[in-house]
Structure 1
Amino acid sequence: MKVKLDLRPREAIIAAQKKIDLVRLTALTLICLFPLMACTSLVYGFLLSQELASRVKSLNLSVDMLKKRHANISENLAALKDDVELYRKAIAFIKAEPPVLECLSAVEEALSDETWLSKLEIRAGRATFQGYAPTEGEVVEFARRLLASPVVLNVDLPVTRKIVKDREGIVEFNLNCSLKGFSELYNSTEDGLLKE
């Protein structure tokens, strides 16, 4: 039988037993940390893949919604283009027509209580009036008021003749005037409704 005797002092023996082997400790730490890090990486990767999958679903839903909105906007745009074309045609039609309502309003303002019209004819750019007044001065005043209205460009000299109607002497008159078109009329009054 063999016996080993350690003849060192007791403090040296205890110090040798307490000595830490750094290489072994590092190896043991790395061996323990490797499975822990692997499990942590797997869990983090799984959670990250779930989050990315939910983001992909939400982005796909957003893309689908945007495609539907695009289709609706395209339909609305086509309808609005048709409406704009219809409005352009209507505005062109209105501009080509004589300004009848404006002319009638100007005639109504220009007529005095004693003057009346028997005939009113409005054509493109021209208006012709036939009527009766008590004096030639009333006819001239009617022509002056017409000329002051914004729709009338100029008034020709009235043609008058004295007649007797219902035992009273009155003046029969014929009067021609030039009218502004819609574009001239509304450009001068700065009304933007008929501007393109």
Structure 2
Amino acid sequence: MARRRQTPTVQSGSVADIAFLLLIFFLVTTIIETEEGLDRLLPRKEAQTPEVPINDRNILEISINNQNELLVDEVRIGLEDLRLTTIAFLDNGGVSKGENGHCSYCQGLRSPESSDNPQEAVISLNTGRESSYGVYIAVQNELVAAYNALRDREALKTFGESYTAMSSEYRNPQTPQERREFLRARIDQIQDLFPMKLIEANTK
């Protein structure tokens, strides 16, 4: 009688354990990239929003047409000129209740055809239906950079520390709570000097 041939078997009892360990390893070591959005605080919805009259000289009209061309007050400019144009508008200091009837901390030309003061200055951004998202983000970055440049100037003059550095430290989760409260007070003080009034709606 012939002997029955035995088929060799593979010990697979530890395969599940190894697979589980590999899964944990990749979950722990893998970095998932996330896209950052725009840092914007949306206003609360109100039943009736009061209409606030805005003087035309206090509005900086910025438009991106369907050909991705940038127009400021209906004049075409390059993206590289947008930051300085915005700074000049915000920092104009034409009329205010400060010293000598003008914004006491503004260093602009005080043109009667530009913004009265930073508290009244409004930036209106309108985009065409076919304008690219990349150009829109680039414009947003330049506008934020213009505000940060003015806020940095006043923060350095007032506190000896830049606004962007304080904001970065404030957003750091490792910053102690007491330090965060201290920074929050300073950040609010600087933001009151140059409040960001950026709207994406028809202001006319």
TM over 0.5: no
**Larger relative strand fraction:** 1
Q: Which has the larger radius of gyration?
A: 1
Q: Which has the higher contact order (CA 8 A, sep 6+)?
A: 2
Q: TM-score range by the shorter chain?
A: under 0.3
Scaled by the length of structure 2, the TM-score of the pair is 0.27
Q: Which structure features the higher share of helix residues?
A: 1
